[in-house]
Amino acid sequence: GVAFLDGQYLPMSQAKISVLDWGFLHSDATYDTVHVWNGRFFRLDLHLDRFFAGLEKLRMTIPFDREGVSEILHNCVALSGHRAAYVEMLCTRGASPTFSRDPSQAVNRFMAFAVPFGSVANAEQLRRGLRVAISDKVRIPPASIDPAIKNYHWLDLVRGLYDAYDRGAETALILDFNGNVAEGPGFNVFCVKAGKLSTPAIGVLPGITRRTVFDLCAEQGLAATAADVSVAALREADEVFITSTAGGIMPVTEIDGARIADGKVGPVTSRLMALYWEKHDDPAWS
Ligand code: PMP
């Protein structure tokens, strides 16, 4: 992979930052990841919108505008030579030259990189559906600070993931403050009941793949809402799937060892998965 750091393009192995950077010390950073498939970016504008909104809310400044960042991302992909890549843009608070605790003294640091695409789910999991466990861990900030700020804080998600592994599952879903389902390590969740889709509304990152599912539903005339999803509703759903940039739409066929419906990838999920990948070749969705 190739990184852009401090004005230079570098091999990933040479892209290094100080341990005094507040991104490392305090998770004081925001980022966004975007997916390249067949050499083309998917929904880059939406990712740039979210990244720049996060920068503004965190009062960080970078020496590039949207076009500048877009150009850097394209250059990272081109230099990496990858046709399928996972591309990240990020900004940390940086480090303060005087070791001051005043965030306005720190010099914000923008970085970007493109690495070979590594999906959340492998081909077999996409065919048979993921086995998920619901952990009792609760998703806390950044969602409660501002859900739209994409931040690296994952302690709750990582603990949920270990709960899932301990129980023989492949990934985890964790809860919101009210005990409803929130999200998982790097993905949002949807369930389908009687042809209607729902996804948790509060305490979750408003994922761009989640947004794409809403757009696909609008196009296809499917009903979709963002509302509380209880653990019981998820278990009793006809279909469940998870969504993320690093995996697209991924079926879930087992929760806590019990099958969802007949345990097969359902028709709504299959149809949305196919459409999701078709849209990658449609310039209107690029
Ligand atoms: N929730 C969390 C906590 C995430 O980290 C991510 C992706 N990084 C998502 C949801 C999915 O968002 P997107 O579809 O924009 O990748």
Q: Where are the alpha helices (DSSP H) in 132-221?
A: 155-166, 208-220
pLDDT band at 146; cut points 50, 70, 90: confident
Mean per-residue pLDDT, 153-182:
96
Among candidate residues 68, 46, 5, the one with its CA nearest the CA of residue 212: 46
Query: Does the CB atom of residue 208 touch ligand 1 within 6 A?
Result: yes
pLDDT computed for residue 251 by the predictor: 98
Domain ranges of the chain: 2-116, 123-285
Judged by DSSP in three states, 68 sits in helix
- Asked if the domains at 2-116 and 123-285 fall in one CATH topology, the answer is no
183 contacts 204 by C-beta, under 8 angstroms:
yes
Among candidate residues 171, 161, 179, the one with its CA nearest the CA of residue 240: 171
Q: According to the CATH classification, is domain 123-285 in 3.40.50.720?
A: no
Among candidate residues 218, 230, 220, the one with its CA nearest the CA of residue 193: 230
Q: What percentage of the chain exceeds 90 in pLDDT?
A: 86
pLDDT computed for residue 100 by the predictor: 87
Among candidate residues 194, 199, 195, 197, the one with its CA nearest the CA of residue 176: 199
* Ligand 1 atom closest to 150 (CA): 5
pLDDT, greater one: 101 or 252: 252
pLDDT computed for residue 97 by the predictor: 86
How far, in Å, from the CA of 205 to the mean position of ligand 1?
6
pLDDT computed for residue 143 by the predictor: 54
Mean per-residue pLDDT, 171-193:
96
CATH class of segment(s) 2-116: alpha beta
Q: What percentage of the chain exceeds 70 in pLDDT?
A: 98
* Ligand 1 atom closest to 204 (CA): 1
76 contacts 3 by C-beta, under 8 angstroms:
yes
ipTM: 0.99
